[in-house]
Structure 1
Amino acid sequence: MNNILDLWRNVPHNILQSDDGPSYQYSAIGPDEIRVISLHPGHARDKISLSLESRSAAEAPKRGYAAVSYVWGNPKLNESVQCNERPLSVTSSVVEVLKRLRDHQDSVDLWIDAICINQQDVPERNHQISLMKEIYAKASKVLIWTGQHDSNTFAAFSYLESLSDKKKPKGHDFAEFETRMLAHVSAFIGRAWFRRAWTFQELCLARDAQVLCGEYEIGWATIATAFETLESRGLSQGVFRDAADCLAVSSRFYGKNLAGERPSLSVFLPLTRNLQAMDPRDKIFALLGLAHTHNLLDVGPNYNLSVAEVYTRYARAMIIQEQGLSILSSVMTGYQGKDLPSWVPDWRLPRRTAYLYGFDWPEKADFYNINMGQPGKHVLKPPPGNKLILRGARLCTVKSVYRGNKLIKALMNGESLSAAPVTGWNTFLPLFKRLLDSLSLPQTYQQTGEKPSLALLRTLSTNHLPSPEMITAFVKKTIKSISHYNDTNPRLVSPELKSKLEEAVKKCNQAYAKETDGGVLDLESFLYLCELAIDVLGYKVPKPRLSFSGTIGQRIFGTKTGHSVADYIASMAKTFLHNRIIFKTDNGLIGLGPDRLAAGDQVWDLLGGSVPFILRDASKKQQGKK
């Protein structure tokens, strides 16, 4: 008897099941109900079999279920599963997910959108999408399926775990080892799941999430900790690329209760701009479960509206509800679709530039406030239609522009995922000096009262400078290094070079003697050492018994602290100069602007805005654009 039962169990279930007969038909569900899958146990060769039942949204979490986060992929319904003993057509990606999640012995309760929502019923789809916030937030866990594993997966997961544990292998080959490992991590993060709009929301809402890649599994908390480690070293953008901003944002939400205050839609949209969606309207709809703005609008997910109608409707609503113009900073003039008004951001376009200030929620940081915190008395209320009427004042006009391509190229480090090399920094310094000279700035920059070199450095890095502690350590180490070099190599240092080095030590020490302003003098000392490196780059450093060769400029930045400071500034400059233009105005100010900016464009203070805006007279043609 046991042998007969064993034979019965080993017969593939797909032999016992048939796709013949009528397909599964969805029954209507109530407004407070969701459907949950009970995935039947089975083996690898068995056909997928499941039961689908309706549960009240309030009762479902008590019984427990796991919500699945995955990428739809090919939308063709070219596979079939048994649903309530009836065939149901699904995509191949759904079958792949269910096979991975199926248990050999027990049923598994799941929520997966492709099956639990009747995708052919638009009203139901609209309503169920509005419930997804609760579905993912109240799931016992969220299972993230990133696809089948490959040659990168094991190494990537292993290294992410070591970064999470803050373990750092020792030895002279560590840099080469780390570069290889980070390449594996970058390849894994390059998977489609990390670039989708819907999966971003699903992750942020999760209380507990596990990442599955073929046979391998890793906790999301491990990935988040590894990201923070790399971010602290300035490597997050290089490794995580387009996913970096979203990972930074998701870390603020993951595992937390979202019952309290949440960021507005205008905060989320710029940060998630590079995420993808099969339907462009989902670039907004996929965020409604996270942002608080939609609670104030009579606007829910509505797939009966066109893309232009959705984007325009939400842009107007954000301006009215937030009484601010931050959304205008996301307009990409010269690239936008012609179906949109000029003031409405086209979220179909990926972001061309790095987001300047990151994610400042829940602590609101006023990085820039052109109106000095004065409340505006004018109420922003755009009229229905495609026009936006605003009040403001012209501040100045763009006089000249400078492209940063050469500066970026000088800082590039090939395909390496490590920070920029010292040699790249030495190439950057002469270009920095040349740009500074071409701007013809006065000895004191009028806006801040500091040296023009410091003002330019702040501009190029958008004021993302190393910490005062890091710069102080660098300056002190460099002074000590220069003094030591003078003392130990008197016959190898020419009188001219000796004089310059002694002057550097004296000047920097004088700065420390009167240090009173929270690190500004350290910055000036740092810039002075940069200028010194420019002046003496041609001097070769002889080194009979030293481990460092090259020019004196390389010697200055050859210390560990030197690498840290130079790499940090180089990383920031590379990030924020990309697709931006350096400009100077007719009243002597400098700034960074979009790559379509041109001489003659005007800088305006618009009532309701916290930053100045670049405006162009639409009646005048410039660079072939209106």
Structure 2
Amino acid sequence: MERYSIPTYQTEPLDRSRREIRLLHLHPRTTDHITATLSVADLESAAETYSCVSYVWGNPNETVAIEVDGHEMQITLNLFDFLHHIRDPNDILILWVDAICINQNDLEEKSHQVAMMGDIYFGCSVVHAWLGTPSSEMVLEINPFATFEHIADGKHWHDLPGVLEEGDDEGAPSDVFVDQMAAFHLIADSAWWTRSWTVQEIILPTSGILWYGSHSMTWDRFALVFERANAAYVHCCAQGTEATKHWGPKMDKFNRFMSSIAIIDKLRRYRQQTIEQVVDVLSSNEQPPSFHNILLSFSGRQCKDPRDKIFSVLGLAPARMFDAYTPNYQQPLTDCFTDVYRRMLEYDNDTSRVLLGRGFGPYNKGLPSWARDLSKQHDGQDWEETRARLSGLYDCSAGSSNTVTVKDGRELHTKARKADTIRVVGKPHRLQKSGVASQIIAMLQSYELASETLTYTEEAHLNKAFMRTICATITQDVEDSAQWRRCEDDDLPSPESWLSLLTGEGYTLPYTFTSAMLLATENRCLFITEAGNLGMCYPVTKPGDEVWALLGMNVPFVLRKASKGHQLESAYHLMGDCFLLDQMDGEIMQSGEETKSIVLV
């Protein structure tokens, strides 16, 4: 018999013409040996009668035997640990566990059940998220959730046990603080946070519990930690913690970890809002997260099969986007990714929510240039999301509308108008992880490129054009809760401060300008066009590429003529969106160029 299999799968198969699932009935804890039975149930009828389990499979070679329907079945050690901990002394627990409730050796059944996975988790009474258990030699003297419980209670950072104390060795942290942080890392470093499938598994259920060994914390209380640990709260505790050098780095780790939790909780709260709450959100001009952004936000998570980068979050997609769609583990990977991009484009015909950002081009083998390789991790997604959201500040195509169509599965047909041809491309700006000095050097290198390439009658004109380019003509309004808006000349650095920067005599620029500069230039390059215009593009851009306004889009795009051997004369590769100075508000549509039908391949 195949591994992870039992005769029940053959004697009681699921009816794939119906929405049937198997449920695991975990018997009470009478001995160390785990026993259970399986039953077949209609998904809708079974709603709220079962609990789901979210966990990491772990090493497939480390297995333990349990008894299911009177037969031995091998499961991974991590799942065994959870079942061992969760068993009730007296009552049967009804669970849905993918490794047992799905015949993992039957790809057709697996595809059938994966298509229902979102509804399975949405219909459960609670999800148990299993973060792990201490090794046999490890004794937990501190609750691993203690730091999170402390903050959730509204207590101060500097009141954490041992945070202001010194250890026996001069300059060393106290033993209490070391233990406190070791407990924190058991939660923050759990592999559960790195897996693709656990995203929708915690977002969709109405109730969730996080477990580490016998310790637990509800998701709602866990998510409350981020609200209590916001910038204002941290600031109020800054003076209390400045007496020790030990907490600073840990606070940074804590904040980064909780920021990643906030993304999940935002999606979770949005999914669980009432109709009235959704209307309130939409009326406030805050768009719900697009499925494309969800895919990219969790692209760094891991899964055994790259297709699961998509299948693992299907439950978070709009209902109609994947009508009549069944996950197919035998479908070629490139066909799978292309099909998903086609569905996203055709769902709401909003190309601005799908085609913005990095990762496009003819470099993804087997994929059209308008479909990203979703198996790759896309760093800097927070920058891309913000830029995509702020693209609404521009109106490159002058309010025009457009209907894109995908033909032959790979050709994206649209209408566009050419703006210019790129002459020179500078070096990419990678400022996010750089210090101030590196940021200034990168800026000066781009400025030198512009000054050497362009001819301006007055240096002041060049300075102004350059500053407007590297901030993409946006700024943060300090008088309006730091909201982003288009900038005016008065928002730019003064000539004196800019001159002091160029001469090396000063390094201070307004925060409202530097924040916009970081957003506009991160992982982008300065480019100069044949007509002498400045812009910012992605590093894949080359001289000779063209800037176009795609009808219906708020920002222009860099396109590259497809090879001469391509049968379509109007065929182009999509290289990514861009910023083109003084061409972001309909100017391209007012030029003498004609609107053309083009094909992105």
TM-score normalized with structure 1 length: 0.67
Give the Å deviation of 1:144.
Answer: 0.8
Pairing 1:70-469 to 2, within 5 Å after superposition: 70-76=55-61, 78-149=63-134, 157-169=145-157, 188-228=187-227, 247-254=262-269, 256-257=271-272, 264-292=290-318, 294-295=320-321, 297-326=323-352, 327-329=354-356, 332-333=359-360, 336-356=363-383, 358=385, 366-376=392-402, 379-404=403-428, 407=431, 410-411=434-435, 424=436, 428-429=439-440, 432=443, 435-436=446-447, 438-440=449-451, 451-452=464-465, 454-456=467-469, 458-459=471-472, 463=474, 465=476, 467-468=478-479
* Structure richer in helix, relative to its length: 1
State yes or no: 1:40 paired with 2:27. yes
Kindly state the Cα deviation for residue 596 of structure 1 after the two structures are TM-superposed: 2.0
Cα pair 2:422 2:542 within 8 Å, conserved? yes
Partner Cα distance (2:387, 2:445) in 1? 35
**Cα separation, 1, equivalents of 2:390 and 2:273:** 17
Residue aligned with 2:407, SS: coil
After superposition, what is the alpha-carbon deviation per residue over 1:344-377, rounded to whole angstroms, capped at 9, x for unaligned? 221111114434453899x99835443243322x
Could you tell me whether the CA contact under 8 Å between 1:454 and 1:523 is conserved in 2?
no
Between the aligned partners of 1:530 and 1:104, the Cα distance in structure 2 is 72
The SS at the match of 2:421 is strand
Give deviations 1:304-353, integer Å, cap 9, x for gaps: 42212222222223223322334333662568442323332211111144
Deviation at 1:258, TM superposition (A): 6.8
Q: CA offsets per residue over residues 500-555 of structure 1, 9 Å max, x none?
A: xxxxxxxxxxxxxxxxx999688446x679558749986xxxxxxxxxxxxx97xx
- Return the letter of the residue paired with 2:266: S
1:458-513 Cα offsets, whole Å, 9 max, x none, are 24xx95747446889xxxxxxxxxxxxxxxxxxxxxxxxxxxxxxxxxxxxxxxxx
More strand by share: 2
In structure 2, the CA distance between the partners of 1:405 and 1:93, relative to structure 1 (3 Å rule), is same
Equivalent residue for 1:477?
Answer: none
Give, in angstroms, the shift of residue 145 of structure 1.
1.1
Deviates more, 1:160-169 or 1:437-446: 437-446
**Counterpart residue type for residue 147 of structure 2:** Y
Q: Is contact 1:80–1:88 with CA below 8 Å preserved after alignment?
A: yes
- 2:502 & 2:293 partners in 1: Cα distance? 45
Whole-angstrom distance in 2 between the partners of 1:352 and 1:402? 21
| Identity of matched residues, % | 25
Q: 2 CA distance for matches of 1:99 and 1:575?
A: 49
What is the SS of the residue equivalent to 1:53? Answer: strand
Q: Tell whether the 8 Å contact from 1:71 to 1:93 is kept in structure 2 after alignment.
A: yes
Q: Which whole-Å CA distance do the structure 1 matches of 2:520 and 2:164 have between them?
A: 31
Over 3 Å counting, the alpha-carbon distance change for 1:254 and 1:37 in structure 2 is farther
Point out where structure 1 has 5 or more consecutive residues left out of the alignment: 1-18, 412-423, 473-516, 539-551, 558-564
Instruction: Report the counterpart of residue 601 of structure 1 in structure 2.
Output: 545
Moved more, 334-343 or 236-245: 236-245
Which amino acid counterpart does residue 375 of structure 2 have in structure 1?
A: R
State whether structure 2 residue 41 is matched by structure 1 residue 55.
yes
Separation of aligned partners in 2, 1:49 and 1:380: 55
How many matched pairs? 512
DSSP-derived class of the 1:109 partner: strand
**1: CA distance between counterparts of 2:515 and 2:187?**
23
1:7 matched residue in structure 2: none
**CA 1:227–1:186: 2 relative to 1, 3 Å:** farther
* Structure exhibiting the larger radius of gyration computed from Cα positions: 1
Task: Single out whichever of 73-82 and 136-145 deviates more from structure 2.
Answer: 73-82
2:587 corresponds in structure 1 to: none
SS at match of 2:211: strand
How far has the Cα of 1:68 moved from its partner?
A: 0.8
- Is 1:592 matched up with 2:536? yes
Task: Quote the offset at 1:292 in angstroms.
Answer: 1.2
Q: Distance in 2 between matches of 1:85 and 1:395?
A: 72
Root mean square deviation, CA, Å: 4.8
Q: Helix, strand or coil: the match of 1:391?
A: strand
What is the CA-CA distance between 1:67 and the residue it aligns to?
0.8
TM-score in terms of structure 2 length: 0.69
State the one-letter code of the partner of 1:371: S
**Where does structure 2 lack aligned partners over 5 or more consecutive residues?**
166-170, 235-248, 279-287, 566-574, 576-600
